Amino acid sequence: MKGCRMQTPESVPQNLMHRLRQLYSEGDAKKAYVGIEKLIAEYRQKIMPRHYYLNQNDVILITYGDQVVQPGEEPLKTLKRFLDTHVEEVINTLHILPFYPYSSDDGFSVIDYKDVSPRMGSWEDIEALREHYWLMFDGVINHISQYSYWFKSFLANDPNYRDFFIEVDPATDLSKVVRPRTSPLLHEFRDSEGRVHYIWTTFSKDQVDLNYHNYKVLLAVLDALLFYVERGASLLRLDAIAFVWKEIGTSCIHLPQTHELIQLMREVLHAVAPEIVIITETNVPHQENISYFGNGSDEAQMVYNFALPPLIAHTMRVQDATVMRRWAQALSLPSDRVCFFNFTASHDGVGLRPVTDLLTEEEIDALVQMVENRGGFVSWRSMEDGSKTPYELNASYIDIVSDPREPAEIRVKKMMLSQAVMLAMPGVPGVYFHSLVGSTSDIEGVRRTGVLRSINREKFNYDYLEEEMQRNGGLRAMLFHSYKKMLSIRKGEAAFHPFADFEIIDAAPEFFVIRKINSESDEELLAVHNFSQRPKLFLLPSFVILPATELLSGKTVTQEALSCDAFGVLWIKYRRRSDHG
C-alpha cells in the first residue's frame, strides 16, 4: 500500500546538532541538544506508535470545534454528534481549527497551547473524536496571545521568559519586511515597571511573534507539538510558518533559518512518532509555497495548494480553463513521498498572493470587482513603498464561484464543479465545513464583529442546521447531498490515491481534464470538468478503451464522444490501452 513512508526512530536524529549550529551559537546549540534529548525520551514513554498512512479514503474536513452548538451541551460533543450522524461514512479526518483557549482571531491567538477552551469542551471530547476520525491539530507557533502566560511573564520581567519575544527600536528601518496586513508591524507594550517595549506583531497587536533566536522558545514549541501528538494528532499544520524567523534588514519571510527550523521540527517529531504528517500553511506565490516540500524527504509532507482556489474562481468567471491548465501541467513534486493539500475554502479568505505570477493585474482586479459586486469584501496588505494591494477575497466560496441572484440549481452545479476539481487534483482534499453544507456569505457576521473573515466563519445551532439540510429544494440540502454522493464514489477508487500518477490533458478551452493513473492495475480515471454555461461535446482520448463507466451517473460509455452538461462533471473509469503510457 502506498502512503507516507515510515522511519525507524533514532535516539536523537543524527544531524540534529548540525542543524542547531546553523541557528545558534555553539553553547546554545549544545543546551538545545540536551533539551531535545530530554523531550524525545519523555514523549517516547507517552506516545504509542500508530499505523497511519495516506490513501484515497482520506478527506479532511476543516471545522471549528464549536462549529455546531446545542444549548446545554459542550460544542465538541455537538460537533461529534453531527458528524457521526451525517458524514462519518465519507469523512475520515478532521482538521479541528484551534480549540485552545484564545483571545482573538477565532482561535489563532492562543493563550495556552496545552489546554482546550472551556467554551468548546475538554481533552476527553478530543479523545472521543479521535476514536472515529484521524485528527489534524494547528501548531500556531509564529505567534501567541498577548494574554498568554508566556507574554505576561515577559512583561513581568521573569528571567525565564527574557527574549521570548522580539523587541525592536521603532526607529529601525523595517521597510523590507514582507507584510500580510496593513496593521503596524510593531506595537507598544509596558512592562510591570512601566518601561515601554516595542514588540514585533506580524498579524495584530494581540498576536505577538515568538523569538526563535532564543533556543528556549524552540524547546517550548517542540514540547507543545509533541504534546499534540500525545493527545492524538496524526497531522500537524504549521500556521503562518513562512514568517517564523526574523532577521532585521531582510524580508523576514522564507529565510533559510525558517526551512532549517521546519526540518529540525520534523526530525524531532519523527524520532518519536515517524507516522506524523507535517503540513505547512504559507499563503504566498506558488513557487515560494512549494519550496516547503524541501527535497521531498526532509520538510513538509503536504503543502497547501494555495493557487487552486483563486484559479478555479478565475476559470469559472471567464469560462476558460487555459490558465489553470497551464499551471496544473507545470505542477511537479520533488519525490513520491509528498503531495498537495488541495482546498477551495477555509476559515480565511481566498488568497490572491499565490496567483500574482499566474494572473494579470487586470484578471485579479476583475475577481476583486466580481466578489464586491456579490456582497463580499477584499482584505489588503501593505507593500514596501507604502501602497496597498489586494490580499484576499472575503466571501463564502459558493458566492465567489456563483452569483447569489442565480437559481439554486445553477449555484449548486457551479459549486460542485469547483469541488470536483479540488477532489480530483493530485493530493489530499480538504473540505471546509461551510462548503459541505452550502453556506452563503455571512454579511451579518461581519457587521457584528467588524472582521471581514467573519463572512465565512458562521456558527450553527444544531437544530437549525438539521432543518435546513432536510428542506427539499433548499440550497443547503441540494449541495450537501450532491457533495456526499461525490465523496462516497471517490473513496472507492484507487486512482484517487494522493500519490497516484496524474496527467493534465489538453482539451478545448472550456474543459479542465485530469487523467488519474492507477499504477497497480490497468484501470484509470478521466475527470472531465466543463466550465462553460452550455453543454459541450467531449471526445475521449485514444488511450481510453470502451466500454467505460461514468461513475457519477453509473452509465456505461460506449461512444467516443460524450455530452458534458453546462458546468458539468464526468468521472470516466476505463481500461487503458497497453501501447499508451
How do residues 551-569 score in pLDDT, each as one tens digit?
999 999 999 999 999 999 9
Output the nine-digit C-alpha cell for 97: 481549527
Mean pLDDT of 82-90: 96
Answer positive or negative: Cα dihedral of 502, 504, 505, 510.
positive
**365: enclosing H helix or E strand:** helix 361-373
For residues 166 and 424, give the distance between their C-alpha atoms in angstroms, rounded to a whole number. 43
Q: How confident is the model at residue 579 (pLDDT cuts 50, 70, 90)?
A: low
For residues 146 and 137, give the distance between their C-alpha atoms in angstroms, rounded to a whole number. 21
Mean pLDDT of 524-539: 98
Mean pLDDT of 438-449: 97
Nearest residue to 481 via CA among 58, 108, 87: 87
- pLDDT for res 406: 98
For residues 23 and 272, give the distance between their C-alpha atoms in angstroms, rounded to a whole number. 22
Supply the residues annotated as catalytic: 239
Torsion on CA atoms 151, 157, 162, 168, rounded to nearest 10? 80
Q: How confident is the model at residue 3 (pLDDT cuts 50, 70, 90)?
A: very low
- pLDDT for res 11: 66
Are the CB atoms for 208 and 165 separated by under 8 Å?
yes
Mean pLDDT of 146-170: 98
State yes or no: pLDDT of 493 exceeds 90.
yes
- pLDDT for res 174: 96
Q: Which residues pair with 527 in a beta bridge?
A: 514, 571
Are the CB atoms for 300 and 294 separated by under 8 Å?
yes
State yes or no: pLDDT of 5 exceeds 50.
no
Q: How confident is the model at residue 280 (pLDDT cuts 50, 70, 90)?
A: very high
Nearest residue to 271 via CA among 15, 1, 3: 15
Q: How confident is the model at residue 518 (pLDDT cuts 50, 70, 90)?
A: confident
For residues 166 and 186, give the distance between their C-alpha atoms in angstroms, rounded to a whole number. 9
Report the DSSP pairing between strands 339-343 and 302-304: parallel
State yes or no: pLDDT of 277 exceeds 80.
yes
Q: How confident is the model at residue 451 (pLDDT cuts 50, 70, 90)?
A: very high
What's the mean per-residue pLDDT of the chain? 95
Q: Which residues pair with 526 in a beta bridge?
A: 515, 572
Mean pLDDT of 499-510: 96
The domains found in the chain, sorted by start residue, are: 499-576 (2.60.40.1180)
Please state which of the ranges 45-59, 438-452, 477-491 shows the lowest mean pLDDT: 45-59
**558: enclosing H helix or E strand:** none
DSSP state, 354? G
CA atoms within 13 A on the CB side of 306: 30
φ/ψ (deg, to 5) at 316 = -65, -40
For residues 145 and 151, give the distance between their C-alpha atoms in angstroms, rounded to a whole number. 7
State yes or no: pLDDT of 363 exceeds 80.
yes
CA atoms within 13 A on the CB side of 249: 0
For residues 146 and 158, give the distance between their C-alpha atoms in angstroms, rounded to a whole number. 15
468: three-class secondary structure by DSSP: helix
For residues 151 and 146, give the distance between their C-alpha atoms in angstroms, rounded to a whole number. 6
